[in-house]
Structure 1
């Protein structure tokens, strides 16, 4: 963070809000020349502050309107089982995120499915066959209270 000045932070905020902003628009908003702005944005990419720019899709429009969170407890916690689990989750297109956590379970999986009518099929096809799965608990999101929040810096 020490490497970022106010202009860098503003650029990061503006690009999080809308990654399609033009260099000219960014330059006007932060008070720099387009060349200076372009160089800063390139540096922010090069230094790893910005890792990707992508479109955010409406999940309902693409048949993935239901968000589920699945707590997964493994029957063994060995590096081999963790590696196999991570590999399998990475290949499941419905899974948006998967986090190894500490506490009462081993992983928290965030997935999007069409609706609850296909949940059992998803669970049996994707989650339960994962290496080492002993137990799962599922929570369905009924409202997006604060989805895709910006990282404030």
Structure 2
């Protein structure tokens, strides 16, 4: 899909403020609100804009420990991967998961209330799964760059 300057500006604006009104978008793009609204709708229908969410503060929710957990599977068949993927879907503290190249098969981003909760997740859930061979965790001490918008231009 080709994007013109107005599309790029619209996407950048919406990444900063997903609640921007058609009026606000129109002002930012030097378009009428109806034109800006139609552009947004076209990008939504094309699947470029997948949805809108609120960004919550993990610490204010009592989730004081963030970690990245690498998981290596013992076996790599389709059934084993599907089984582990089903486990991931059941655990709300695992907020995102990626399949990886290299030594680890999966990289998980997790948020837990405290270190004992992270310990339970690792030992009682992940390592207890029959297909998991090894887990390596890294606890986040601080985030020097917040999650940023995608580069659109």
Q: Same-fold call, TM > 0.5?
A: yes
Cα RMSD of the aligned pairs, angstroms, is 1.2
Q: Please list every run of 5 or more consecutive structure 1 residues that lacks an aligned counterpart in the other structure.
A: none
- Counterpart of 2:151 in structure 1 is 152
User: How far apart in 1 are the matches of 2:93 and 2:47?
Assistant: 27
Q: Please list every run of 5 or more consecutive structure 2 residues that lacks an aligned counterpart in the other structure.
A: none
Q: Which TM-score applies when normalising by structure 1?
A: 0.94
- Counterpart of 1:134 in structure 2 is 133
Q: 1:53 to 1:131 in 2, by over 3 A?
A: farther
Paired residue secondary structure (1:15): helix
Runs of 4+ in 1 over 6 A off after TM superposition: none
Q: Which TM-score applies when normalising by structure 2?
A: 0.94
Q: Give the C-alpha shift of residue 93 in structure 1.
A: 0.2
Kept after mapping to 2: 8 A contact 1:92/1:126? no
Q: Give the C-alpha shift of residue 149 in structure 1.
A: 1.1
- CA distances 1:40-62 after superposition (whole Å, capped 9, x unpaired): 00001000110010100000111
Q: How does 1:2-151 map to 2 (within 5 A)?
A: 2-151=1-150
